[in-house]
Amino acid sequence: MKSEIAAVVSFLKRLVKLKNKVEVEKMDLFAERLTVVLQEKFEGHWVPEKPSKGQAYRCIRVNAFHKYDPELLRACRESGVHYGDLGLPWEITLWVDPGEVCGRYGEQNFDFSIATFSTDKNEMTFFYHSGSSDEGSTHSSPLTVPNRKCQALNPAAPNPPPLDKPTRGASSRSPHYILRVFFSFFYNISMYSKSLYFLRTYQCTINIC
C-alpha cells in the first residue's frame, strides 16, 4: 500500500509544481500529510487478492459535482496550503489499487497508467520524472521501497490537457478499465431511473391535485 500511495502522491506533486503556486517547504509538508491521510483512509480497505474491492472508496476525484476531494482538503489544512493553489485540473480521477495506480483527465477520456507493481522481487527501484521546470526536463529522482518491484512507473504520464480544448488521450487501459466502465454505466442508469421516478411522481401529484 505504501508504494502505491507514494506513486500517487508523487504524481500529484508533479501536477501542483506545474502551476508553481506552492512553496517547496509547504509542498513537501503537503505531500507528507497527504501520505498519512491516505494511509489512514485505506486501512481496512486494501485487499491485494481483490484489487478492485474498495476501488470507489479509495478513488481521488475532482469534477464539477465534487470540487473538493476530502483527503486533499484535509492535507491542505494540515500543511497550510490553500486548496486553490494546488491548481488541479477541473476534472481528474486517480485510482489507487493494490498493484496499480491509474489516472484520467475529464470524465470521457481514457485512463492512463501511473505505476504498476509486483512482489516477485525483494526490492523496488524506480525513477519518477517530476515534470517541474525547476528540476529540468531530464532530471529524475530515485526512490527505493523494500519488497516491491515497480514494473512500469510511467514517466510520460500526461499533463492536463488545455481546459478550452479537451482531448481524448491515447488508450492505455488498465486491467480494471472494464470494471470502471461497467460500474459507471450502471451508475448512470440508476441515476436516470431515479430521475424518471421522481418526474412521474411529480406528474401524478399534479394530476391528483
Q: Residue 38 contacts by C-beta under 8 Å, 6 or more apart in sequence?
A: 5, 8, 9, 71, 96
pLDDT for 107: 86
pLDDT for 161: 56
pLDDT for 118: 77
Residues 143/176, Cβ–Cβ less than 8 Å:
no
75 burial (CB, 10 Å; 0-12 / 13-18 / 19+) is buried
| Alpha helices in the chain, H assignment, sequence order | 2-19, 24-42, 55-58, 70-79, 177-208
pLDDT for 130: 36
- Ranges under pLDDT 50 in the chain: 122-153, 162-173
Q: Residue 174 contacts by C-beta under 8 Å, 6 or more apart in sequence?
A: 95, 100, 102, 111, 113
Query: pTM of the prediction?
Result: 0.63
Phi, psi dihedrals of residue 126, rounded to the nearest 5°: -140, 165
The full DSSP string for 15-54 is HHHHHT-S-HHHHHHHHHHHHHHHHHHHTT---TTSTTTT
Separation of alpha carbons 169 and 108, rounded Å: 10
pLDDT for 193: 61
Residues 42/3, Cβ–Cβ less than 8 Å:
no
- Bin 176: left if φ > 0, else alpha if -120 < ψ < 50, else beta: alpha
Phi, psi dihedrals of residue 89, rounded to the nearest 5°: -60, 155
pLDDT for 156: 54
47 Cα distance to chain centroid? 18
